[in-house]
Chain A
């Protein structure tokens, strides 16, 4: 990828991160850690990959994205704001009673949200249904789903993985956000889903690794995914939970809590807003 383009994407990702912190800070609750770890991925998807139209969010032939780890709604809302689906200032209404920006994504009221999600595992099956639908209708649109690493502890994920391989859903691509932390601690200690390579390969998937915070690596991973045309693809993106905010990085305490005023200022400094 050209250096200039990488710099542009980095700037968008920075603004996405600012939006995440603004949303969570305004709500005094929410999930910043996992939102920050997928900020680069969301930026790459919405600004390099997804064939979507902010002026026509319900366009029938658009690519679909299911945020299966729905608690990272601040990340999704923030990138949708950067892409022009919703006003950036609305991020500050996140989780407020009068707001359409629910704690977890609500497709009925949020332009650009392709599926309501939040109950872990369920988005994976929905992505399979969308991919199957495109396949049997001869449509070219692609379907993506973003999963948490902890989410892969849900049995439904593997039911869906089996289904996708059985029906040869090569228009489907999952991205597992492998940041290594879940609410109760490191996933390796709570319930270790690793190794992903062997599991997904065994389920009939093409497995690709990526550095979640390097656009060249993401680009290479998606290119490798697209080169595979006979089976579903999964990108294991190795990420840092809380990426971009110094005190949140690799700290499980920031899975689901909001910064105070002082911490908010530090976050804004870290993100180059001050």
Chain B
């Protein structure tokens, strides 16, 4: 775990990189290109970048029109506005006609930091999960973010990509293979499985070390695609470990934890504990401090792991 790079940074770079290969790739932003990092694409391909101004709902519709005429549009804003403000546009204009639009939503979760609750979107995964046919990808590091962008370009249909503001360690190597809908087992274990997504994958790996110090063997799985969920992997983890902890920088309502619990309660009933934002709004503070404040840190995951094991 050497360099730290924010997934939004990798997103902007990936757009600029793949823009050369995919001539139909166009990028839209809503006056946040410097923050979402689509500005990197704008610099490389100014003729294929369109700022929509502070009008996200229109941006979503414009992206749909572009997709219906042969372009591959990425529409970018903060998760709060892309998924929150524009939920109904995403649902009716992108989802219902199953348009080939990619939503690049950055600044997801509480690690937005000092801007505070109005900009810390912890509901986007839940909102997007309710839309039939929507694919949701939440990359954990820069390598995965880059490959997720490529996979989204090559996939025909709507994709919601979730990126973070905070720089996070790069743990995937150059040989990492990414496949939409296919979870990744990062470490073996037999007492409990830590099923994590996004920046929480790092915390889950750290929690595994804490648990190992106490003689507890934890498996760690990276679920980058929350929909469609890799049910096969989730069920096999339940069978092997008999206890699950889900970890996400998102409300515990409707996100990864809910998806895993729904899957297991129907197909392989298993104790599940959810680490996430507990039905509360965010608050201002340095991102790292907020991870602990909201109980998303490795220590909190380790504590929940013991609770899950106790339920076996």
List residues of A whose CB falls within 8 A of some B CB: 60, 64, 106-108, 114-116, 118-119, 121-134, 136-137, 143, 155-156, 159-160, 162-163, 166-167
Asked if B66 and A162 sit within 8 Å, CB to CB, the answer is no
Asked if A126 and B61 sit within 8 Å, CB to CB, the answer is yes
For residue A140, give the distance in angstroms from its CB to the closest CB of chain B.
Answer: 13
Complex: chain B residue closest to A133, CB-CB: B69
Q: Which 3 A-B pairs have the closest CB atoms?
A: A129-B65, A125-B61, A159-B58
Asked if B71 and A133 sit within 8 Å, CB to CB, the answer is yes
**Could you show 18 A-B contacts with beta carbons less than 8 Å apart?**
A64-B68, A107-B97, A108-B98, A115-B65, A115-B68, A122-B57, A122-B92, A123-B61, A125-B57, A126-B64, A128-B61, A132-B62, A132-B66, A136-B47, A156-B57, A160-B58, A160-B61, A166-B53
Complex CA distance for A122 and B61, rounded to whole angstroms: 6
Supplied contacts A129-B63, A156-B89, 10 more A-B pairs, CB within 8 Å: A106-B97, A108-B97, A122-B89, A124-B61, A126-B61, A126-B62, A129-B67, A159-B53, A159-B55, A162-B55
- If A132-B50, A163-B53 touch, whether A125 touches B97 (CB-CB below 8 Å) is no
Question: Would you call B188 an interface residue if the criterion is a C-beta within 8 Å of the partner chain's C-beta atoms?
Answer: no
Instruction: For chain B, residues 57 to 92, give those with C-beta under 8 angstroms from any C-beta of chain A.
Output: 57-71, 73, 88-89, 92
Complex CA distance for A108 and B96, rounded to whole angstroms: 9
Asked if B52 and A131 sit within 8 Å, CB to CB, the answer is no
Q: Is the interface of A mostly helix, strand, loop or mixed?
A: helix
Please, how many residues of chain B have a CB less than 8 angstroms from a CB on the other chain? Answer: 30
Contacts of A118 in B (CB 8 A): 92
For residue B166, give the distance in angstroms from its CB to the closest CB of chain A.
Answer: 31
Q: Which residue of the partner chain, among B48, B62, B70, B73, contacts A128 with CB atoms under 8 Å? A: B62
- If A133-B69, A163-B53, A163-B55 touch, whether A116 touches B92 (CB-CB below 8 Å) is yes
Asked if A116 and B97 sit within 8 Å, CB to CB, the answer is yes
Question: Would you call B93 an interface residue if the criterion is a C-beta within 8 Å of the partner chain's C-beta atoms?
Answer: yes
Contacts of B53 in A (CB 8 A): 159, 162-163, 166
The residue in A122, A123, A155 that gathers the most chain B C-beta atoms within 10 A of its C-beta is A122
Asked if B57 and A130 sit within 8 Å, CB to CB, the answer is no
Contacts of A108 in B (CB 8 A): 97-98
Complex CA distance for A162 and B48, rounded to whole angstroms: 19
